[in-house]
Structure formats: C-alpha cells, structure tokens
A and B are shown apart, each in its own frame.
Chain A
C-alpha cells in the first residue's frame, strides 16, 4: 500500500481564491482525519469521518472551510474564499480503528 496520498504537495494561491485539497486514505481504513499544522497552534484536528460520515467538525475554523468524503477512497477539504491566515500545512490521516493514525505527506498551502 502506498499509504495516505495527498495532493497537491504545495499550493500557492491568491487571497479570495478557492482552494481544494485532496486525500486518498489507506484502503480499508474506516476513519479519515483532516489536521492543520502551524507554528503557533501546532497540530489541530479540523474534522474527521467514520465510514464516510462526518462525526466531528467542531475544529473547522469557519464556514469558509468545508470537507466531504463522497466515498471510502477519497476526501476533499475546501477553503472558499481563502485568506492569508489559512497558510499552513494540511495533513490528512487515516486509521483502521480510529486510534493509530497514519498521516499523508501533507499539503503546504500559502495564501498571498
């Protein structure tokens, strides 16, 4: 298995533009997590899914952020409109049991 796959690896966009981050979890994993990492706030859980259903989205910072999981092998995190303070590394992670989380390589987002 190739592990959790995220795309793109790097994204630079202008303020106000829509940004879509993509994630393919490890096959067979029932849990999918989206995290944001910044120097100031560390690793923050944004939202997680169990069997494609969003369970807890209390970490989503604002209505500008939305996440979907249309099937077991794909999830997206969308920011619309993007702002400079959204600049961070966004990690997707998946888990078989919900405990051990395996992270993707991350997407480094820069909003200018």
Chain B
C-alpha cells in the first residue's frame, strides 16, 4: 500500500518568516494530495490540495508544490502568523473506480513564535 513520509516532525519559525513542510509518497498511482491543519483538540481541516495534473497551487499565504517524478510534495506558508501554529498533515490518495485510499503522513507540529 501507499506510504507517506513527512518531515520535519516539529518546526519553529519566527512570525513573518516562511515555513516549509515536505512529504514523500511511495505509490506512483497516487493522484490527489491534500493538506490538513489540526489545531489542538480540534478536527483536521482541509486547507489546500493539489491533483497530479498540476505542479503548483496557491491560495493567499499558502502554496503547495508537487513533483511527480520524485514523488514528493511540499506545503509552503509565507508571512507566518501565530494562528498558523498547529499540526499539519499531508496525505496521498489513490482513486480507482469506487476505491479510495487516503494515507496520512505523521504530522508536523508548527509553532510560530511572536
């Protein structure tokens, strides 16, 4: 099955700096890559996603890049703010017929220092 590795496990940045979280996946059939943000004690929430036919996607301060050849994708947060502090999860999904497999990375605890 799919295996998703995520790095780093913890990341501290100064407010206003950029943060980058990287993930690799193993199954070249994966074609959908979402990122989730989970604040303490709350549910994971989808913040951005990218499909395999696109190399980059941006939404305000958040961007995601995908390198299908190398099988890795990254989350970039610019101008970080304290409210960006949370655990971020990457995931990879294989869609085939009615079959769906969303495999999550192990998470990155991001702390934005004021």
Contacts and interface: CB of A to CB of B under 8 A. Distances in A.
18 contacts: A33-B102, A42-B106, A42-B107, A43-B89, A43-B107, A55-B98, A55-B100, A56-B99, A56-B101, A91-B44, A95-B100, A98-B93, A98-B98, A98-B100, A99-B93, A99-B95, A101-B102, A105-B42
A103 interface: yes
Contacts, number: 53
A48 B34 contact: no
Interface in B56-95: 89, 93, 95
A72 B89 CA distance: 28
Would you call the interface of chain B mostly helix, strand, loop, or mixed? strand
Contact of A105 (B43, B101, B104, B107): B43
Interface of A: 31, 33, 42-43, 45, 48, 50-51, 55-56, 91, 95, 97-106
B18 interface: no
A42 B42 CA distance: 14
Given A42-B106, A42-B107, A43-B89, A102 B46 contact: yes
B46 A31 contact: no
